[in-house]
Amino acid sequence: MAPVEEHKASVVDLFCGIGGLTHGFVKEGFKVVAGIDDDPTCKYAFEKNNGATFIRNDIDLVKPEDVIRLYPKDDVKILVGCAPCQPFSRYTNRKSEDGKWKLLASFSRLIRGVRPDIVSMENVPELEKHCVFSDFLKVLDDEHYHVSYSLVDCVAYGVPQTRTRLVLFASLLGNVRIMPKTHGPSRYRTVRDAIGHLEPIKAGEQSASDSLHKSSTLSGLNLKRIAATPPGGGWKDWPDELILDCHKKESGKSYPSVYGRIRWDDPGPTITTQCHGLGNGRFGHPEQNRAISLREAALLQTFPRYYKLAEPRSDIVITSVARHVGNAVPVRLGRIIARSIKKHMEAHSL
C-alpha cells in the first residue's frame, strides 16, 4: 500500500481540539496541514503531537479562501471535522438557539466554498434526528457529493469503550464506505487491556512517574460510596444512608449509571468531558476507590501513551485535560476513518 504522501493528499481538520481525529490520519500516513479550533488551550497538544499548524479561529468566521490557501496546489483536498456535539447529545437538553447548533451550518458553508474532494464528519448518533443534519445532507447533495453515513459501534473497531458515533463520508469521486469491522465480541478490547498495567494510585494522588496519572480528590462520604460500589454497580447498591436524596426521588431513578464502577473485563463507558468525576457517570475505577485518572481516560480514548496532553512542568488542571480528552475523537476511530478514505482513494487511483 503506497504512502498517502505519494498521492499528494492533504487534510484540514475543523473543530480539531487536541487532535484525536488528526492523529488518526497522521498514523495512517496522511499529511495534515492544519487544524482549526477556537480553544487556544488545545494548541500545545495539537501541534506537539501532529506536526501540523493549529489555527485559533471561530469556525463561523473562517472564510473558504482561508481554508483553500492551506492546501498545497494540486493536492487532493480532504476536509474533516467533528462539530461540538453537546447540543445534539441525549445527555443535554439544549434549545435550538444554542450557538453551537449553527456550527454544522458553518461546516457546510465551508464545504460549499472550498469544494474539497473528500469530506468526513463524526458526531453523536442523536444528530441524525435533527433538521440541521438534514440541511447538511442537502448541501452535500446540491454540491453533487456521493454521501454515505452510518452509526458506528466503536468497540467493533478496537476502541475499548461502549461508544456509538455517526460517521459520514462525502466524496466527489464516488461512494466511500467505512471499512469492515476489525473486532468481534470475543476480541473486544477491555478496560483491563487499556489500563490494567498502570500503577495503583489513591483518590487525589498523582503518579511520581506520570503527571497525567492523576485522579480527583474525593470527600470522605464519596470514599465510602465508592467502597460500597461493586464492579458494574452504582448507587443502587449502597446502603440507604449513603444514597443522595435526589436519587431517592422518582426522577432520580433514571440515572442508574452515576457513581458507577467500571468492570475490568468489559469495554469501558463512553468517555465524556466529565470523566474525572465519580458522580458524573460510570467512571469509578474497577477496583481502586477513586475515579479514573486522566491517563486512564486518555488510554480509553486510545491516545497513545506518548501523546503529550500538557506542557512540561505545567500544573495539570484536571477539569481542563478531562474536557480536552472527552471532547476528542478516539484516535483509533480516527485511524479507521482515515483508512476508509485511503481505500477509497486507491480505488480511484489517487
- Integer-rounded Cα Rg, in Å, for the chain is 21
Active site residue 131: no
Cell triple for 19: 487532535
- The rounded distance, in Å, linking the Cα atoms of 270 and 300 is 9
Torsional sign, CA 189, 190, 194, 196: negative
Q: Which of 42, 85, 154, 275 is catalytic?
A: 85
Residue 36 is inside which H or E element, if any?
strand 31-37
Q: How many helices (H) and strands (E) does the chain have?
A: 11, 7
Residue 157: closest CA among 340, 298, 322: 340
Distances (CA, A) of 8 to 75, 78, 166, 274, 334: 5, 11, 28, 39, 20
**Contact by Cβ (8 Å): 78, 10:** yes
- The rounded distance, in Å, linking the Cα atoms of 8 and 18 is 25
Cell triple for 216: 480527583
Residue 193: closest CA among 332, 95, 300: 300
- The rounded distance, in Å, linking the Cα atoms of 350 and 175 is 15
Residue 191: closest CA among 279, 304, 284: 284
Q: Which residue has the cell 448541501?
A: 139
**Contact by Cβ (8 Å): 277, 283:** yes
Q: Which residue has the cell 506536526?
A: 51
Cell triple for 314: 505545567
- The rounded distance, in Å, linking the Cα atoms of 185 and 196 is 20
Which are the catalytic amino acids?
Answer: 85
